[in-house]
Chain A
């Protein structure tokens, strides 16, 4: 077991974890944050996507110990005060989700995309989400949601999805 310290959704954590524990399992089983889902065994589907220091990563392919000292944000952490983050709001407004299984990953991948490329073209949005699979929507309304979120006036500072009180531990 190893002791790690990290920040998850703005909250400092200190936990003993097995070296082999995947970040997605840490989030789901240790912290009970179950928005991120496991949809495959091969890093193909992206249902587990979270932000690591503001960049979207597939948490099934990150060891928890690799996240030590870093800042993790999940879909739960995007809307700490209950009001939907602009990306979440855009997904609702554009019916960008159906069964919801890929949705937290899609949202986090979108937040990651928009922090790197605030105004993607449709093609850029499609390429950025290529690693996030969805069986329900045919991607049509997901892409609408991404493009709408990019135009949302209030996205500004919230876009990284990091809560304002977050402290990244060294």
Chain B
């Protein structure tokens, strides 16, 4: 049990605070004798961490030795069509334009967009599938580069979720619950493990431009928010155009020295506020100002790609030259992995192909295909894939049946939560496997279902965190990323 007064007393003393902050500029941190975070419940904090140096996160060290030191999460917002990319259903050719049998749908809730349709005609993918690599995984012609790396990745065809609309679904996969307001996966990781590089944020979010369907779901900052965790753990979203981080450069006429004096003064005021009201969020604010100050030097160095060889740039493809593209962001993600950024999440929007798959999907795939391949290849050749976990996927899948009229020119697909495809690579994920199976209609999972909670538990596991023991007291509950329902680490996906 912890009480607010105790929590307050456990916070750093004013003197310790100034010692630490004053030397923050030089990057010197002293062993702090007291607790890390007042929100941490006693069960999960390692007693040893109480005497460990700064910057280690609430866990001090992971629960067990991790395979992954960092994560790069490639998020395809809008839900990519697994039927046209990974989940090959040759039998559907015979069912083309025939109605989906009622016993396959089996009372499944549909979205308002198709629930009114008279019929649910099956739309066979027009794209060719071939088997690739040693693993023999099927990948469609839309992903010629991904096809070349099937032996480096684990394709999961049996992902599922309960949510059927974008906002609840993306909130669910990002935070573990469909209702907004909880901390995101990246924030949990930042909170638990802390920073490795003090000069860059622990959790970075990169938004990408896209070339498919222009009207796309908005992304809200709460998707990378920190919820009830201290707000310095929320993702820092870089801009896709112009300065990656806004207002990072000093205004004209303001030098580094005067900026430092200003920040010291501001800290002083903030600290007084803190002593008066005891709100830990004031500490978060101070930490963020300090981070911004350090980022004034580290971000320009990070985003300066002039040192990248021509060969590397060619690997990522021509898009890499344009800031804000998925390819550019993948290269940036590799640079952050090198520099020790704990969690990088790249969002790529425009995957919501309700209609016009033949018009939009190839463009979406081209945006991400070569860049994803380049990222895996580049991480691998630099030895980073050993301890960097890469995850690719969206918030749910798409239906085998056509949304709107199925014509001989085009077809669309509605939201489908019962099965969808994701892939993972690196950091102890078995390379070259295809996991899980769906029925002949690609509608229901027939083998090895993986719930999005299982995915999150598995990601935490690779980082050395037991999702069951990683909790924070909030509103009278021991809150966890995986919530109160069962979640399982998918051991079959892991090397050992």
Q: Do A and B bind each other?
A: no
Residues on A lying within 8 angstroms of B by beta carbon are none
